[in-house]
Structure 1
Amino acid sequence: MMSSFSSILAASLTIGSTTAAPWGPQWWGGPKPQWGGSNNNAGQSSGINVQLGPRPYYLVNNMDPGPLKDKLESCSEGPFKTSTFSISHRGAPLMFPEHSRQGYVAAARMGAGIIECDVSFTSDRELVCRHSNCDLQYTTNILAHPDLAAKCSKPFVPYNATTNTPASATCCTSDITLKEFKSLCAEMEATTFNALNVSTTTTPNFGRIGTTPDWRTNMYSYSCAEPMSLKDQITLVDSFGVNFTAEAKTPQIPMPFQGNYTQQDFAQQIVDTFNEMKIAANRVWLQSFLPDDIFYWLANDDSFGVQAIYLDERADLTADGYDVAVASLPGLAAKGVKIISPSIWQLVTADNATGKIVPSSYAIAAKKAGLEIITWSFDRSGPLEIQGGGYYYTGVNNLINNDGDEYTVIDVIAQQVGATRIFADWAATVTYYANCFGL
């Protein structure tokens, strides 16, 4: 008889449901699914039968004993619903190729109330969902298409074992047309660029220069995952009845593109696309690392600008970047910025006297300035038992001792920092917490 919390793992796919999930072709990328209404501004149920799978239960079971674990265990049976506290980062890239139809579908099923498209552009100036202008060589199979590989900004160079020089290529969305982009297969983001060739057809690494980290999976990469245009993504996400976040990617190619397509044109085209698709501005959170993009949206369409997210990576760029960022927060608020979004590590710090994770000076200053806080990205850096969670847990690594500490950090960010939304590579993790705490 299954009675312990850990035994719930085996049955977790049916939590909050009395009927089987529609796993047929319609759900996995066929005709537009019908999930009820299309306006989900407050995080209420979208009409999707939310299913969280085993990961949240694994994390809770892995936690150190204490009140937070008790609270999270008490929510094990749900019911669970969509929450806008939970933002899907690139779809569901812990297991599915990023920015693919299949990844977006998985994110919606896991209760993400907001789903992200990182926006780039093609040679014919169409908008597509891709994390970087120039990452096709390690996130798609473009190098398996000789005609398209020939268009890459820099051709494929194989790994050199003698000099330990990684394989390389630079293939940009702006190198190809929208039609050519949509002929590709999205693949899991690669990290170790050790390809000797791109013609091995027996593995999911076919047509890219790297391999998948061993803590992700290629399970869903053997079939061709579908890359998406922004318009396709809007249609799909709207069909789920959930909301949108679109990041204007910082260009890796010279701008203006083709001599006259400026960064402002790009930023405006994103807004125009949502308007063309008749998506209300209050359902859209635009994002950028470039402050000029934020100020452009504020100046030219405040209905979108008021929810624009300033992604703040300044602490990673220079030795004094963290202090500069903290000092700038009141000024940003005075200029009209409403939402600031640093990475996780910038919001928390270690109180070594008490052994607790607490809000950072950045978090305190942002709150004092009246800025809404959103952060990124949980479930991104692999097992927390390896180097205390890596980059995203910088500054608190010494207080991280198991995977369950992910929820310890989420709790500090939600309850003490006061973040209103959290990006995650596996939305179910944040959705579980959000439902348990009524967020």
Structure 2
Amino acid sequence: MRATVGYLALSAALVADLTAAFPVMPRGEQHPTPDDYYISLGPRPYYLIENMTESPLKSKLESCENGPFEITAWSIGHRGGGTLMIPEETVQSTMAGARMGAGILECDVSFTQDLGLVCRHDICDLHTTTDILLRPELAAKCTQPFTPANETADASALCCTSDITKDEFMSLCSKMDGFNATATTPEDFQHGVPFFRTELYDTCGQVMSLDSYIDLVDSLPGYRNFTPELKTPPKAVPMPFNGYTQAQYSRDMIDTFIAHGISPERVFPQSFTPADIYLWLNEYPAWGAQAVFLDEDGDDPANFTTAVNRLPALKASGVNIISPPINYLLAVGGPNNDTVVPSDYAITAKNAGLEIISWSFERSGPLTRVAADDDYYYSSIAPIMHYDGQMYEVLDVLGREIGLKAMFSDWSATVTYYANCFGFKGPGNE
């Protein structure tokens, strides 16, 4: 009994201390004021720093361990920002990225059968990112119905946002991206999440339309900005789609922000398709000035030099922001050929006057495995990646040597910590 009383007294004292440190929000108040909104980074940045070898960079990062931490636009929530653990393109991922200090939050924009605009990383990924195959009435509308695995073929399906209406899309539950190639039932097909992610929060992530994403981000405490990516339709969804052209699709995305009264300086529209970038530059110049040209043309090694050489021409044509994956920007160098250094791509882009936003941090598993797993994001430096603490060494090359404008991350806390430690404010706050 005495132990219980002592425990209760200790608990009461602890609650009192926590209450003093962290104001309790009244029930039903969904969005606290900026002054009451605490940035919460959790244990991961500290794990990464602890895993680093001793260096001035480690000492600097350690010196920032108690903050204070604030929202920074240098930290962009990729697919929301909580994707390492939480289903992507959802309210929950967006809220997680916001709580981890991301000052810019992403929605990948796809269109539905009735031309509604919704947040989904790929127009045709519903079979791996939602529960559509568990909804018989909607699964029947998929471009390719579920086919069970057999002795000669993996299980497969292909379900696109363009297969269903906006209202039908909004009825779906989002799940962690993945599938079980050996599945013989739609239920078994739902699994297969990469080992370094988790299904702990796989409990019906709330999907978003472009409208609801805008309203959510605009309602968040602190000043948050937007980066919508216009998804390029795959071959399974040929354009024009029932008369809907790529140009109109591009216009509709910008017009949605205009209809919500969002100022263009708060929006960084993205596309892999050059025609989208030039349409925004020509028809929406205030928006096009911040357009982000996503570049993956160097994925084929035979094309990489061409991708580098065209960068000055892109700047001359009006493009201001280039956005390659991080592997394009990094190379192995140094006296002993064991150091991460800026690549020719990075140097050429900076010399051309292009600002650089890159993607995506925390998209990979443990760095001990990147070479064996043929990881995409660390492919240019994989031979010298051996432990997770090197992530901050990589980020430091990107941040201080290359001078990124901002960094996308699937776990925003990692980038937010670094940006706060070095005082990086991000676009619009330099």
CA distance in 2, matches of 1:362, 1:97: 32
CA distance in 1, matches of 2:119, 2:370: 32
CA RMSD of aligned residues (A): 1.9
Which of 52, 66, 83 is the equivalent residue of 2:72?
83
CA distance in 2, matches of 1:366, 1:386: 30
Which of 96, 100, 109 is the equivalent residue of 2:99?
109
Q: CA deviation at 1:435?
A: 0.3
After superposition, the Cα gap between the structure-2 partners of 1:400 and 1:239, relative to the gap in structure 1 and judged at 3 Å, is: same
Divergent runs of 4+, >3 A:
none
Structure richer in helix, relative to its length: 2
Q: CA deviation at 1:199?
A: 3.5
Which of 118, 141, 147 is the equivalent residue of 1:128?
118
CA distance in 2, matches of 1:25, 1:430: 31
1:145 is aligned to 2:135: yes
After superposition, the Cα gap between the structure-2 partners of 1:155 and 1:279, relative to the gap in structure 1 and judged at 3 Å, is: same
Letter in 2 for 1:220: Y
Q: Which ranges of structure 2 fall in alignment gaps of 5 or more residues?
A: 1-16, 425-430
Secondary structure of the corresponding residue to residue 94 of structure 2: helix
Q: Please name the residue that 1:186 is paired with.
A: 174
Secondary structure of the corresponding residue to residue 282 of structure 2: helix
Answer yes or no: is the 8 Å Cα contact 2:23–2:36 preserved in 1.
no
CA distance in 1, matches of 2:72, 2:181: 37
Fraction of identical pairs, as percent: 49
Answer yes or no: is the 8 Å Cα contact 1:343–1:376 preserved in 2.
yes
Letter in 1 for 2:388: D
- 1:160-171 equivalent positions in 2, closer than 5 A: 160=150, 162-163=151-152, 165-171=153-159
Q: Please name the residue that 1:324 is paired with.
A: 306
Which of 369, 393, 407 is the equivalent residue of 1:422?
407
- 1:14-413 equivalent positions in 2, closer than 5 A: 18-19=21-22, 33-36=31-34, 48-91=37-80, 92-160=82-150, 162-163=151-152, 165-190=153-178, 192-199=180-187, 208-221=189-202, 223-240=203-220, 241-252=223-234, 253-258=237-242, 260-316=243-299, 318-351=300-333, 353-354=335-336, 355-388=338-371, 390-413=375-398
Larger mean CA deviation between 114-123 and 210-219 belongs to 210-219
Q: CA deviation at 1:32?
A: 5.0
Secondary structure of the corresponding residue to residue 125 of structure 1: coil
Q: CA deviation at 1:395?
A: 1.9
CA distance in 2, matches of 1:145, 1:125: 21
CA distance in 1, matches of 2:124, 2:27: 32
Answer yes or no: is the 8 Å Cα contact 1:326–1:365 preserved in 2.
yes
| Cα deviation 1:239-278 (Å, max 9, x = unaligned) | 11311000000101110111x2101101100100000011
CA distance in 2, matches of 1:416, 1:21: 42
After superposition, the Cα gap between the structure-2 partners of 1:156 and 1:363, relative to the gap in structure 1 and judged at 3 Å, is: same
| Cα deviation 1:120-139 (Å, max 9, x = unaligned) | 01111110000000000000
| Cα deviation 1:61-109 (Å, max 9, x = unaligned) | 1111111111100100001000000000001110000001111110000
Letter in 2 for 1:326: V
CA distance in 2, matches of 1:381, 1:340: 22
After superposition, the Cα gap between the structure-2 partners of 1:191 and 1:360, relative to the gap in structure 1 and judged at 3 Å, is: farther
Answer yes or no: is the 8 Å Cα contact 2:77–2:106 preserved in 1.
yes
CA distance in 1, matches of 2:145, 2:115: 22
Q: CA deviation at 1:21?
A: 6.8
Q: Please name the residue that 1:10 is paired with.
A: none
| Cα deviation 1:283-315 (Å, max 9, x = unaligned) | 000000111111110010111000000000001
Larger mean CA deviation between 387-396 and 55-64 belongs to 387-396
CA distance in 2, matches of 1:191, 1:157: 13
Answer yes or no: is the 8 Å Cα contact 1:351–1:358 preserved in 2.
yes
After superposition, the Cα gap between the structure-2 partners of 1:25 and 1:128, relative to the gap in structure 1 and judged at 3 Å, is: farther
Q: Which has the larger radius of gyration?
A: 2
| Cα deviation 1:323-373 (Å, max 9, x = unaligned) | 111000010000000000000000010005332111000000000100000
CA distance in 2, matches of 1:198, 1:191: 10
Answer yes or no: is the 8 Å Cα contact 2:131–2:190 preserved in 1.
no
Answer yes or no: is the 8 Å Cα contact 1:310–1:341 preserved in 2.
yes
Secondary structure of the corresponding residue to residue 206 of structure 2: coil
After superposition, the Cα gap between the structure-2 partners of 1:88 and 1:306, relative to the gap in structure 1 and judged at 3 Å, is: same
CA distance in 2, matches of 1:194, 1:186: 21
Letter in 2 for 1:19: F
Answer yes or no: is the 8 Å Cα contact 2:272–2:294 preserved in 1.
yes
CA distance in 2, matches of 1:379, 1:292: 30
Secondary structure of the corresponding residue to residue 60 of structure 2: helix
Q: CA deviation at 1:48?
A: 3.0
CA distance in 2, matches of 1:25, 1:59: 36
CA distance in 1, matches of 2:306, 2:37: 43
Answer yes or no: is the 8 Å Cα contact 2:370–2:378 preserved in 1.
no
Letter in 2 for 1:416: E
CA distance in 2, matches of 1:116, 1:367: 25
Secondary structure of the corresponding residue to residue 391 of structure 1: coil
Q: Which ranges of structure 1 fall in alignment gaps of 5 or more residues?
A: 1-13, 37-45, 201-207
After superposition, the Cα gap between the structure-2 partners of 1:158 and 1:21, relative to the gap in structure 1 and judged at 3 Å, is: farther
CA distance in 2, matches of 1:254, 1:120: 14
Q: Please name the residue that 1:3 is paired with.
A: none
Answer yes or no: is the 8 Å Cα contact 1:167–1:209 preserved in 2.
no
Q: CA deviation at 1:191?
A: 5.1
Give TM-score, length-normalised by structure 2. Answer: 0.89
Answer yes or no: is the 8 Å Cα contact 1:193–1:210 preserved in 2.
no
CA distance in 1, matches of 2:350, 2:114: 42
Give TM-score, length-normalised by structure 1. Answer: 0.88
After superposition, the Cα gap between the structure-2 partners of 1:349 and 1:21, relative to the gap in structure 1 and judged at 3 Å, is: farther
Q: CA deviation at 1:421?
A: 0.1
